[in-house]
Each structure stands twice: as C-alpha cells, then as structure tokens.
Amino acid sequence: MHVRLKKWMVSEGLKASQLADNISVNRATISHILSGRNRPSIDFFQKLLNRYTDLNSNWLITGIGYMYVKNEAEEIEVSKKIEKVVVFYDDASFEEVNS
C-alpha cells in the first residue's frame, strides 16, 4: 500500500511534509508509512480520504481499480453498443444477428 501512496503523492505533486500538514498528522507518521515500517491506521485513512475526496480508497488499499474516483465514473459512463453477434455452431456453420 505504501508504494501506491507514494505513486499518488507523485501524481499530486505532494511531499511527505505537505501531506502531513494537509491532513493534520505527524510528519513522522507519514515517513513511517512511506518507508513501510508502519501500516496506516483507520484515523490516517479517514483524514486522507476526507481531505482528498477524489482518491480511490479501494485502489489505495487493494490496488484494484483506478487511482482516482473520477476515472471509475468516466469508465462507467462510456458505454458500448453491440453491433452484431456471431453464433458459431458445431457443424462449422454460423449465423450473424445485427442489432
């Protein structure tokens, strides 16, 4: 998780001291989390996610999804329409169905 936190900080252009000040945590807390020495507490996550509402908590914790919540919303908004379906039968014939 600390690797993703570092990646996000680079994306935001944040230094550890700036992040600590922005979310009102001790600078040593950030340093220990970024080094992998300590795992972030629930309090840390709450402060971080309350301040940075576009940061995707699922991505930060698990690595699944996108770094930013808006990217997931954009992905959902993009819809594809089915143009045609091709059905292949075991006798080597096929049938196309256009929508």
Write a three-state SS string for the chain. Answer: CHHHHHHHHHHHCCCHHHHHHHHCCCHHHHHHHHHCCCCCCHHHHHHHHHHCCCECHHHHHHCCCCCEHHHHHHHHHCCCCCCEEEEECCCCCEEEEEC
Tens-place pLDDT, residues 31-69: 999 999 999 999 999 999 999 999 999 999 999 999 998
- Parse the chain into domains and list their residue ranges: 2-77
Q: To which CATH superfamily is domain 2-77 assigned? A: lambda repressor-like DNA-binding domains (1.10.260.40)
Banded pLDDT at 73 (limits 50, 70, 90): low
